[in-house]
């Protein structure tokens, strides 16, 4: 029963991550598929650029909650031992399944976003202090440069540094997770890196746009 429940909850975590908030909100309230505009990504940044702050806020909240709730699903496993290393591994696995769901959503033709907000939700659930440190770096870099991509990559780099060297995280699974998150963010932002180096990466500004 425990093995079956673990597998079922893993599927649920992926499906939870697959909820394409950017696509559904854009289509339902603005008649726009954000994947056909801007960067083509179904994420908060592209929604902000294409549809404005009013649409971006609920997208951000939903995507963040997807990651958070996917990790918390581990507590639904019968007779779970929260002190075991396997428990930490299960939390990370469910979180990553949600991120994969966001990037390749079954409900939106497997065309999703980069998973930054969903990854943040996972990070908060797994290592909240490290996640908050990374978030602080993101806010600082974005405030100065107005580049979401640069802020995301700097936050990704800060996450393992803060978790491993400042917070002295003892769990190997979490150390590997925060390192993987860093590498994942740099990988998904590789095109942004090229544009930053060429000086053609668009800056993000907050502006309101009309909608229903």
Mean pLDDT of the chain: 93
Residue 22 and residue 32: Cα distance in Å, rounded?
Answer: 10
- Show me where the domains of the chain are located: 2-198
| 14-23, 105-114, 199-208: least confidently modelled range | 199-208
pLDDT at residue 210 is higher than 70? no
What is the enclosing helix (H) or strand (E) of 72? helix 53-72
Residue 159 and residue 136: Cα distance in Å, rounded?
Answer: 10
Reported as half-sphere exposure (CB side, CA atoms, 13 A), residue 86 has a value of 6
More confident residue, 212 or 52: 52
Residue 72 and residue 68: Cα distance in Å, rounded?
Answer: 6
pTM: 0.90
Write out pLDDT tens, residues 46-99: 999 999 999 999 999 999 999 999 999 999 988 777 777 888 999 999 999 999
Query: Locate tokens 């083509």: which residue?
Result: 40
Q: State the CB neighbour count (10 A cutoff) for residue 58.
A: 15
pLDDT at 84: 79
């Amino acid at each position: 029963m425990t093995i079956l429940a673990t597998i079922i909850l893993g599927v649920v975590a992926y499906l939870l991550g697959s909820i394409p908030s950017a696509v559904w909100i854009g289509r339902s309230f603005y008649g726009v598929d954000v994947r056909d505009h801007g960067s083509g990504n179904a994420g908060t940044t592209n929604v902000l650029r294409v549809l404005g702050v009013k649409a971006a806020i609920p997208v951000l909240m939903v995507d963040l909650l997807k990651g958070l709730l996917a990790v918390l699903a581990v507590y639904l496993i019968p007779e779970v031992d929260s002190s075991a290393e396997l428990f930490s591994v299960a939390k990370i696995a469910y979180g990553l399944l949600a991120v994969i769901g966001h990037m390749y959503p079954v409900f939106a033709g497997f065309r999703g976003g980069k998973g930054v907000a969903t990854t943040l939700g996972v990070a908060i659930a797994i290592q909240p202090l490290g996640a908050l440190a990374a978030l602080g770096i993101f806010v600082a870099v974005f405030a100065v440069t107005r580049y979401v991509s640069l802020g995301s990559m700097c936050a990704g780099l800060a996450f393992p540094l803060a978790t491993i060297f400042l917070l002295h995280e003892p769990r190997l699974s979490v150390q590997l997770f925060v390192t993987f998150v860093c590498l994942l963010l740099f990988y998904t932002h590789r095109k942004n890196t090229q544009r930053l180096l060429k000086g053609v990466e668009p800056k993000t500004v907050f502006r309101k746009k009309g909608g229903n």
